[in-house]
Structure 1
């Protein structure tokens, strides 16, 4: 099996484009080759089967959506209060808006995972790991709240992102920022609690 990492990444990115545009049923090796502009049969040299391709797509989407380390460091150079949590969540939404294709592909993967046990297991591992990394980031940064705060914000933001990135006319753009602020301000924070916010 071919191991050129640059070519593999290009093929996975092409698969993400196909998945977001055509859905899981349209994700074939031939479609990936066409999207990547490579000869037919190339993708089959890099992925053992369709399940392997879907798994690698799920892993790579999270890499694409990870915040830039320099940008995140700049953001974190502020007092660890609720306003910083708001800013982190706004930047999270901004990354997803900038890579809407990646997020839509992730939604397609979630649906496909309900039909494919192996994909469900792989996606569960990836998303669970990401969530726990967010919890650790929040707590280590001394942001207000605890683990429950982070999980609550994660679930609320998941709903907001699905709504805004699939049916953007439901929530006017100008209201989204206000909603994020209200969400954080109304989140119960335990007295003396420490930490909380999306790191990625």
Structure 2
């Protein structure tokens, strides 16, 4: 396998675009080469097969979706953090669509489903830990409920935005936070 990190990253970014645009069935090593503008066969020098490419895409999405340091420095406001998440999702729309495609593909490939479960489970645990360490309101259960509510909002915003048009997304986020993460009593 080739070890040029910049080329590998460019190929993974091209794969994300192909996956988001064409779906899982359209994701081939040849399609990645074409999207990246590299000679045919280049992707196969970096990824043994399509399965390895799918797993690498999963990890690349994480790299592209990490919030910047300014977002992760306090003081924190949960609703503001979630509005930032939606803004990042909209800026990186293809990354989120690719992640949805990976989830769907995981329903057909048990090995990918296992990788996705481990990946998303670790992400959720890290988000819960960060949320609690930051001193934001909510216990583990409430944070998971917020995660699930935001996932639904993001899926609708990506796939059927007309569903949300009658509503203010910021208003929905404010309501979610108020209802799912009530302020904890001060002792």
Q: TM-score range by the shorter chain?
A: over 0.9
Give the match for residue 147 of structure 1: 140
Give the match for residue 19 of structure 2: 19
- Alignment CA distance shift 1:173-1:18 (3 Å): farther
What is the 5 A alignment of 1:116-155?
A: 116-155=109-148
The answer as to whether partners of 1:34 and 1:40 remain within 8 angstroms in 2 is yes
Q: Deviations over 1:112-153 (max 9, x none)?
A: 000011111111111111111100101101111111111010
Give the match for residue 41 of structure 2: 41
Give the match for residue 99 of structure 1: 92
- Alignment CA distance shift 1:6-1:188 (3 Å): closer
Give the match for residue 30 of structure 2: 30
The answer as to whether partners of 1:146 and 1:190 remain within 8 angstroms in 2 is no
Matched residue pairs, number? 186
**Structure 1 unpaired stretches of 5+:** 194-200
State yes or no: 1:2 paired with 2:16: no
- Alignment CA distance shift 1:190-1:179 (3 Å): closer
TM-score (normalised: structure 2): 0.95
| Cα RMSD after superposing both structures | 1.5
Instruction: Flag the structure with more relative contact order, 1 or 2, with Cα contacts below 8 A and sequence separation at least 6.
Output: 1
Displacement of 1:58: 0.7
The answer as to whether partners of 2:107 and 2:113 remain within 8 angstroms in 1 is yes
**Structure 2 unpaired stretches of 5+:** none
| Bigger proportion of residues as helix | 2
